[in-house]
Amino acid sequence: MKKSYLVGAVLAAVGGVASAQSSVTVFGFIEAQVGRQTQNAPGTKLFDMGGSRLGFKGDEDLGGGLKASFYLEHRLNPDDGTVGGGATFWKGGSWVGLSHDKAGSVKLGRWWSQAFLKSQYASDPFGMGTLGEGSYPTVGCGPAFRGGCLGAFWVNNSVSYENSIGGFSFGAQYGLEVYPKHPINFGVSYSGGPVYVGVGYEAHNDGSSKEKWTSLAATYDFSVAKLYAGYGTGRDAADVSRKNVIVGFSVPVGAGQIIGSYDVQDQNSVRVEQLFSLGYKYFLSKRTNVFAVVANDNKAPVGTNKSGYALGVFHSF
């Protein structure tokens, strides 16, 4: 009697575990380019503009529309195998969270700024992990990233909330351990048919009361061409104003596409970047492409490259 009861209890426990469906995915990409970058020291180099990465993500279906999830994303330098992005090993994100089909998701840990996800990223036709020669202009980064960025790519020690309803998507984020002011940001976007529009706002990413950044992005896909536009404005901790404007396009040509952008940045009404980039990307498959890009920045400081170029390969997995 006791034996049969024990066997039944074990089978019931095993069945309960089996009913909670879970999955883990390995993902990432490797991108390498040969060339030279504008506003950098002269010389031909092997570099990675997109941030080559190795990631692990997974979720467990808890039933009733509820899921538990995790995300870990490592960055690496393919030229020498070192850790990409300084000493941060999980640079692309490290969080655990819960989500519901209707209520949205909550993530605890390091994650993308919601202003970047919903607004800033959409404005750049070169995107990330392709052939971008710019400096993610609507994130408020100084030329060649000198002087840092007003907007954040990621926020540490953060609580993030995201939800989507129809074509609308919303996200808000709060950083817990930066003082005296805690980082905050939010982003709202709409995607419907050929149209995408995004708005983002963030403040106190460095803990100061003066730092803030507002961004707008819009794209329209005509099928024969896709147009991009982005605008960013804000002030840094030293009360220096920054403003970015970017316009661009992508045109499908056979198995590839022509991509172009024009990006300007002003600091205290002084033009510090005026970058024109033109490239071609050819898709060998859905996961692999080769590309070429040329760029010119006539505001590059003396002793740095005013013109740049790159030839590269991108492979995702």
Residue 153 in any domain: the answer is yes
The pair of structure tokens assigned to 224 is 């024969």
Residue 17 in any domain: the answer is no
Residue 8 in any domain: the answer is no
Query: What is the spatial distance between Cα 63 and Cα 18, in angstroms, rounded to a whole number?
Result: 12
Query: What is the spatial distance between Cα 32 and Cα 79, in angstroms, rounded to a whole number?
Result: 7
Q: Could you tell me which residues are beta bridge partners of residue 250?
A: 226, 259
Query: What is the spatial distance between Cα 291 and Cα 288, in angstroms, rounded to a whole number?
Result: 10
Identify the residue with better confidence: 193 or 86: 193
Q: What's the one-letter identity of residue 153?
A: F
> In the prediction, which pLDDT does 49 show?
81
Are the C-beta atoms of 28 and 53 separated by less than 8 Å?
A: yes
pLDDT at 252 over 80: yes
pLDDT at 167 over 70: yes
Residue 44 in any domain: the answer is yes
Query: What is the spatial distance between Cα 32 and Cα 43, in angstroms, rounded to a whole number?
Result: 16
> In the prediction, which pLDDT does 286 show?
95
The reported pTM is 0.87
Q: What are the phi and psi torsion angles at 121 (to 5°)?
A: -60, -35
| Residue 163: band (very low, low, confident or very high) from pLDDT cuts 50, 70, 90 | very high
| Residue 174: band (very low, low, confident or very high) from pLDDT cuts 50, 70, 90 | very high
User: What average pLDDT does range 262-286 have in this prediction?
Assistant: 93
The pair of structure tokens assigned to 28 is 């990432």
pLDDT at 8 over 50: no
Percentage of the chain beyond pLDDT 90 is 65
Reply yes or no: is the peptide bond before residue 180 cis, omega within 30 of 0: yes
Find the domain containing 279 and state its range. Answer: 25-316
Domain total of the chain: 1
Residue 267, domain CATH: 2.40.160.10
Q: Could you tell me which residues are beta bridge partners of residue 61?
A: 67
Are the C-beta atoms of 138 and 90 separated by less than 8 Å?
A: no
Identify the residue with better confidence: 157 or 128: 157
> In the prediction, which pLDDT does 3 show?
41
Q: Which helix (H) or strand (E) holds 28?
A: strand 22-36
Residue 290: count of CB within 10 angstroms of its CB: 16
| Model confidence pLDDT, tens digit, residues 58-89 | 999 999 999 999 999 999 989 888 888 777 89
Residue 10 in any domain: the answer is no
Are the C-beta atoms of 233 and 201 separated by less than 8 Å?
A: no
The dihedral built from the CA positions of residue 41, 43, 45 and 49, taken in this order, carries a sign that is positive
Residue 5 in any domain: the answer is no
Query: What is the spatial distance between Cα 150 and Cα 88, in angstroms, rounded to a whole number?
Result: 19
Residue 82 in any domain: the answer is yes
Q: What's the one-letter identity of residue 1?
A: M
Residue 107 in any domain: the answer is yes
Tell me the HSE value of 147 on the side-chain side, using a 13 A CA sphere.
21
Cα-based distances in Å from 231 to 138, 201, 264, 276 = 6, 12, 10, 16
